[in-house]
Chains A and B, each alone.
Chain A
C-alpha cells in the first residue's frame, strides 16, 4: 500500500535551532495516523511545513505518488490538504453554513447563493453523520466545544479534501464531547480520507488510530501500526525516543 501523503528527509531550522532532523512521515488513505510526541518534539512544525505555512529547508513532499512543492496554504488547499487548527478559527457571530463557506462563498451573480450553500453544508454534515446540531442556521456562538470542533472539521471536509490534519482536536473537550469528536475522526477515515491526528492523549490515540508516528526531539522515532504496540511502548517512544528494538538507534 502506498501512502497518499509522504514526506521524506524534512529538515527545518528557525535560525540556529534545528527543529526537524531528516523527518519521514506517511499518511494513508482510509486510515487515521496519530502523530504523537512530547511538547517541543516538532509536531506542529511538521504539520505547518506540510500545510505550507513554513517553507522547508530540505526534503521532499510526495502527494499521491508525485513529488509536489507547497509554497503556501493555498497550494496545500489545492492539493486537498486541510488543517484544522487548535483554535478552530470560527466566527462566533456567523451561523454554521456561513462559517463553513467563509471566504469561499457560492454566488449567483452578485448575490450569495444561500440555498445551495445550505444544501451542501447539510449534505456534508449528513455525510459525517453529525446529528447533534439543532439547525445549521444556528450561530456558532450557541454551540458547545464539541459541536464547534465538528463544524471546523466539516469545514475542512467540504472542499473535496484528501488529507485532513487535526491539531489536538480533543484538548479542550469533556468526556462525552471527546467521544463524539473521535467518532467523527474515525468516520472521516472510513470515508476514504487520510486523517492525521495530533494528540497528547494516549487513550484517544489508541481509540481511533491505525498507525502511530512518534516524534522525539525533532526526529521520527518510529512509525508503527497501532495494533503492534502497547500503551507503554508508545509512552517510551515519546519520552526517550526508543522502546526495545523500536525507535532511534543509539
Chain B
C-alpha cells in the first residue's frame, strides 16, 4: 500500500482573511476585476446621467421631476423584475410587454365595463398573468419550443388579444379611485418619513442579527464597520430622496398641495423585498440559479427543471400583470397601445443594464430596479433637453447594447480568470 505524502498547510476554516472593511473593499475590487461587475455599471451610469442632466437642465433635479421619474419608470421596472426570473434561466420573454397590456385590458374591462369592485379586477388581471405564464412555461419546458419563438408568437397574438378585449381600438377609461391612486397619488409626508425610518431600521436590524448569528456559530461575519457603511449609505440616499419627494411641488400651493412619496415607490419596494427574499433565501430561488448555471447538474441533483422553468414564466407574466395595472393606473385608461411599443424592450434593457446576464445564472431583482432607473432617467432627461423620440430611442438602444456588451465581455473575463 502506497501512502501519499502529507503536504504542509493550515486547515481550512470558512475563510483565511480576517474580516475588515479594507478586506471587503479589496475583495470587491478583485471581483470586479475578475469580471463580476454586478450593479456597478448601472450605479455609475445613473450617477453620471443624473449629474449631466442636472447640470444641463436644472429642472431635472426638482421635486416634481424626481416624482415623475418614479411614476414614469414604475411599470417598466416591475415588468423587468419579472423578466429577471426568466433571464436567470437563460430564457427570454418577448411577450411580457403585451402580456401586461392584456392584463391591463382585463382590469379595464372588468372594472369599467362590468363594474366589479377594484380588488376583484386586480386579482383577475394578475390571474390572467398567471395563466399566460403557465401556458408559455409549459410550451417551453414540456413541449420544448425555444422560448424566443414561443414568446415571439405570444407577442403577436397578445396584440390581437388586447384589440379583442378593448373592442378594436376603443380607449377604456378607468374611474376607480383606488386603482388610479397607485400611480397618481402620494403618501402623506409623515408616512413617507415613517416608512423611511422603518426601512432603515429593519435593514440595519437584519444585518446586525445575521452578523451576530454567524459570529456566534464561529463563521465569518461582516464586520460592524461594513454594516455601518451599508446602512449609512442607504440612510443617506433614501433620506435625500424622501426629503426631495416631500417638498411642495404644486405650482400654486394655496390652491392644491402636492407633496409626498408616490405610492408606486412602496409598491416597488415591497415587490423588491419579496422577490429578493425568494431568490436569495429559499430553495426555489437557489434552484433557479442552479438551472440557469448548469441545467444538467441541476437535473442530476434531483431538481425538477421543468417545474422551475414553468414557475419562472408564471412569475414573469404575473409581474407583467402588475406592471400593466400600474400603467393603466398612470394613464387612467387602457388602449391597444398599453404595454406596446417600447415597453418590453425597455424592460429587457432595464434588467440587462442593471447587470442581469442574458446568458442565464447571474442577476438580481435589484438589477431591474437600478436598470429601470437608468432607463427612466434617460427617457426623462432627454425629454427635458428637448430631444425628440428619435434621439431617445437611439440613446436607449445604444445604452442597451453597451450593457449587453459589458455583460458579454465580463463573461469572457470571468472565464479567463477562472482558468488562472
- Residues in chain A within 8 A of chain B (CB atoms): 73-74, 85, 87, 89-94, 98, 102-105, 107, 110-112, 115, 118-119, 122, 125-126, 129-137, 139, 141-144, 179-180, 182-183, 186, 206-208, 210, 226-227
Contact = CB atoms under 8 A, between A and B. Distances in A.
A126 to B, nearest CB: 6
A110 B283 CA distance: 8
Contact of A102 (B11, B214, B297): B297
B402 interface: no
A198 to B, nearest CB: 18
Enumerate the 8 nearest inter-chain pairs by beta-carbon distance, A residue then B residue, closest first: A103-B301, A91-B293, A93-B293, A89-B297, A93-B361, A131-B9, A135-B15, A102-B301
Contact of A130 (B12, B287, B292, B300): B12
A91 B219 contact: no
Point out which of A102, A119, A122, A186 has the most chain B C-beta atoms below 10 A from its C-beta.
Answer: A102
Interface in B1-60: 1-4, 6-7, 9-17, 34, 36
Nearest to A106: B283
A133 B12 contact: yes
Contacts of A105: 283, 286
Contact of B292 (A93, A142, A210): A93
Given A115-B219, A129-B11, A104 B293 contact: no
A206 B290 contact: no
Given A93-B362, A186-B3, A74 B12 contact: no
Given A93-B361, A126-B11, A208 B297 contact: no
B2 A207 contact: yes
B164 to A, nearest CB: 40
B1 A210 contact: yes
B12 A92 contact: no
Point out which of B7, B11, B301 has the most chain A C-beta atoms below 10 A from its C-beta.
Answer: B301
A102 B11 CA distance: 24
B3 to A, nearest CB: 7
B219 A119 contact: yes
A150 B34 CA distance: 22
B213 interface: yes
B298 A125 contact: no
B411 to A, nearest CB: 10
A118 B217 CA distance: 10
Contact of B417 (A107, A126, A142, A227): A142
Contacts of A110: 282
Given A90-B297, A104-B301, A135-B15, A115 B217 contact: yes
Contacts of B414: 141
Contacts of B361: 91-93
A158 B347 CA distance: 42
A167 B4 CA distance: 20
Point out which of B13, B16, B286, B420 has the most chain A C-beta atoms below 10 A from its C-beta.
Answer: B286
Nearest to A225: B1
B296 interface: yes
Contacts of A102: 286, 290, 297-298, 301, 303
B124 to A, nearest CB: 28
Point out which of B219, B281, B287, B414 has the most chain A C-beta atoms below 10 A from its C-beta.
Answer: B219
14 contacts: A89-B294, A90-B297, A91-B294, A91-B298, A92-B294, A102-B286, A102-B297, A103-B298, A104-B301, A115-B217, A119-B219, A134-B15, A183-B4, A208-B4
Contacts of B282: 110-112
Point out which of B7, B12, B16, B281 has the most chain A C-beta atoms below 10 A from its C-beta.
Answer: B12
Given A85-B300, A115-B217, 19 more contacts: A74-B302, A89-B296, A90-B297, A91-B290, A93-B362, A94-B290, A94-B293, A102-B297, A103-B301, A115-B213, A115-B214, A118-B219, A131-B9, A132-B9, A136-B14, A139-B36, A142-B34, A180-B7, A183-B7
B289 interface: yes
A72 to B, nearest CB: 11
Nearest to B3: A186
A94 B289 contact: yes
Contacts of B297: 89-91, 102
Nearest to A110: B282
B253 interface: no
B418 A141 contact: yes
A133 B17 CA distance: 12
A186 B3 CA distance: 8
A160 B300 CA distance: 18
Contacts of A136: 12, 14-15
Interface in B163-194: none
A112 B1 contact: no
Nearest to A136: B14
